[in-house]
Structure 1
């Protein structure tokens, strides 16, 4: 069923309501800060959950503190390193957001970037035989990873659904990613030993799982986090948010000193507007050929002496990657 488009009047009404909520939050936060213990020292921590006005901040000792955020510092998200101050009631107020090394965002209904998670080091793209994987969506995720400057890998889940021949065919569909340097892992939750290499790759990283609905993300998260319920209980007790912690982006601790951010917001992920030059940077195998075309504004579609199309013909670039480049650029596919 198509989504109903909002009128300008409805959009303006939503903005007005949101602004009133922000003003109420600012007044509430300033009141809390005014009553805080003036002797408390600023501390650093990491946002592990944000639910509306409520933040769960983990300090350097691993303790969770329920915090509010000062209005004028911006919008902290899961994974942010922040400066916070203890208040007299044993809670806290976030007073600054530390510079972010990376930021994953997606466009909101107004086309503006909405931050989802910060300070990631790794993007894990999840696919499965069912539902049929979308190479276009996979490439959107990989472009996002390249533009953020984080590592990316592809994980094929539910491999137990396929017999040996079908598995080989499925893996072959994605072999061009191996060829350009993206790690691929093939796992089945019915075969726990198949997870060992993936678990090792998540150690000492801050990762997020992304993928289309139905690929088994929730089940894989549970397998990677055998103590997930304990961690949720710890967050709920510290923040008073109850089970609401599971409906927001949440940063969990993994074995091996890693972290896993589980975010419902990446289920409908899409890239915002990117121009041709920016999009070039998202396709890593294009880079050696950029600037080699006859025309500086080449779209790699019908233009003569195109270095990118020549690389496709020679096998250096997979044709489906160029097709997805054109799709993201908003071009119709060449007919010849």
Structure 2
């Protein structure tokens, strides 16, 4: 699992080389390869190592007869190569290495208090598999934060662009202030929270780790925010123009259509938040909280139109079946365009 996730496991022990090698083979660390355990004496300070030494030491998987100071040298060597280093330990002698590592992991059952205080994490069950599970959970949490932020910013970008363009060309506003507040109360809460509790997918542990300095939103994500915002704004303004100019509907009905189009476009936009190659089988589709959020939001949108008093406050009115068909069709366009583009790109 660690290998598929792009995580290298290195065993560092104070045992004899032959013992270390046998343990490494028994746990599947080196497979069937005949690899010798390197001695801790070779782990000299960085300044004393040649480039050849550094390459050989960073590629090694088993080290034997290693002192606490030599563990520090090994951690510094990997960190100098740009690696994020996690160190496990249970004894007092492991405390300096646990502190120097990017992530110090101490044993909870047989670990000393000194080691636990020096570590960043404590394994309650002392099982290495728990570290793998923690990595998977950490990747899922980071992905959720990224998708949560991407969803909110791109949806709000659509609102901003639609209102800004309407203001610049001096036409009636497609959205009223209270409508925007109502939409934000709906779309910025339920679907976003549903994304925030997603469990991720199995493919996360088959991808290499991200860089330590990688931002939550990269340039790719900022471009995606702009694209999503433009698509959502385009369908809102397009349908608003059709309702006013082509169908010559009253302004209240046209505003209602743009309000509903924006609302449903942002709801369907949640299906753009997956990281899988399949638009039909991914972590968003399989997230029951997403479907619950969509049901709640749909009910609140219908209430905004059909509940007397609320519709008056929001400035919306009941529309006909033709208008509803146009709203649903237009609101689906952004997600269809994005998913089609992703499918073509993946082939």
**TM-score range normalised by the length of the shorter chain:** under 0.3
Higher fraction of helix: 2
The TM-score, its normalising length taken from structure 1, stands at: 0.26
Higher fraction of strand: 1
The TM-score, its normalising length taken from structure 2, stands at: 0.26
Considering only CA atoms, is the larger Rg found in Structure 1 or Structure 2? 2
